[in-house]
Amino acid sequence: MNIEDRKARVAERRPRRVDRWRGGGPGRTFWTRGRVLASVAVLVAGLLAFPGLVPNTVGNLGSLLETFLPWAGLAVPVLMVLALLRRSATAMVSLVLPAAVWAAVFGDRTLPADRGAAHDLTVLQHNVSDENPDPGATARALAGAGADLIGLQELTPGARPVYEAVLMSGHPHHAVVGTVGLWSRHPLTDARPVDIRPAGVGGDWSRGLRATARTPSGDIAVYVAHLPSVRIRPPDGFGTGWRDESAAALGTAIAAERLDQVVLLGDLNSTLEDRGLAPVTSRMTPAEEGFGFSWPAAFPIARIDHVMTRAATPVSTWTLPATGSDHLPVAARVKL
C-alpha cells in the first residue's frame, strides 16, 4: 500500500469518528440525542411540583415520595453528569426545569434564619428514645436549651424520674400521660390524655396529651403527640395505616379545641409534605424554616419531629445537637 492509499483510508475514517462523537449516525447532534435524559428531567420536575398525583393505591408510593421529596433534587446533578457523558445539549437544557421547580418549592428553606425576631415563647420538641443510654445527659441538654415548654416522647418508667429531677428547677410544672410528657416554666392546668390510638392497637398504648399553659401572654392549649411509626415492608410497601389513622384522630382533637391559641409538639413520624399528615397540617401552621431534618440523628434525612401552631406564629426554628436519642431535638420561637 502506497502513501496515497493510506491517506485516502485515513480521510475515509475521519468523518466516521466525527459522526461517532457527534452522535453515531446521520442527523444525530448535541440537540437530537439525550431525549431519554430530558424526559427523565421533565418527570422529576413533575414529581416535585405535583407529588400528590402519585397514588397511594400501590404500596403508599405517594406518601413515600412525599416523605423524601426534598431529596428528589439530587436527581439534577446526577442527570447533569449523565448529560455531560452523553454530550447532550437537550438534556442539559432540560435540567433547568427540575432545578427551577425545586428552588420554587424548597428554596425559601435555604435562607438564613432570623433568630432575633420578636417572640413570646421558645418551645422544644424531642423524642428522647426509649433506648437512650444516658437520659440524665439528655435531660441536662434540654434543660439548658432555654425553652419555656418542652414536649417529650418515648418516656420510659425508668427514665421518667430522671427527667423530672433534672427539669424540675427550670420547669417546675409538668404533666405525663403514658409515654409522652410536657414540662413548662408556666403553670399547667387541665392536663388530660388525647385519644389518638389506632383501632388495631391494643394494650396500654397512650401517646397523646393536652394541657393548658397559663403564659403571661394568655392561656394556650399545648398538645404533645407521638404518632405510630412507619415501615417499608415488602410486599405491602410503605406501611402508614396506623400513623394516618392516628393523625386523623389528632386533627379531630385539635379541631375541637376551644382555646384559640394552640401549640403542638410532636414526633409525628411524617414530613410536612406527606399527605398522611394532612388532617393536622390543614389546621395548623408548621414551623418549617430550613430543612430541619431530625431523624435519624446520625445522618438526618427527614423532618419527622414538628412544632406547629394555631392562632400563633412560628418565627424561627432549628435543631439542637444530638443527645443519646436517635432523634434530634427541635426548637422554635413562637409569637402569640
Q: What is the pTM of this model?
A: 0.87
Kindly indicate the confidence band of residue 9, based on its pLDDT and cuts at 50, 70 and 90. Answer: low
121-335: in CATH 3.60.10.10: yes
Give the pLDDT confidence score for residue 1 in this predicted structure.
58
Decide: 316 and 120 in contact? Cβ < 8 Å: no
208-215 sheet: strands from edge to edge: 188-193, 208-215, 218-226, 262-267, 305-310, 285-286
pLDDT tens sequence across 245-272: 999 999 999 999 999 999 999 999 999 9
Structural domain boundaries in the chain: 31-110, 121-335
Helix crossing, 135-143 with 160-167: angle to 10°?
30
Give the pLDDT confidence score for residue 237 in this predicted structure.
80
Compute CA distances 174 → 63, 76, 166, whole Å: 35, 48, 12
State yes or no: pLDDT of 235 exceeds 80.
no
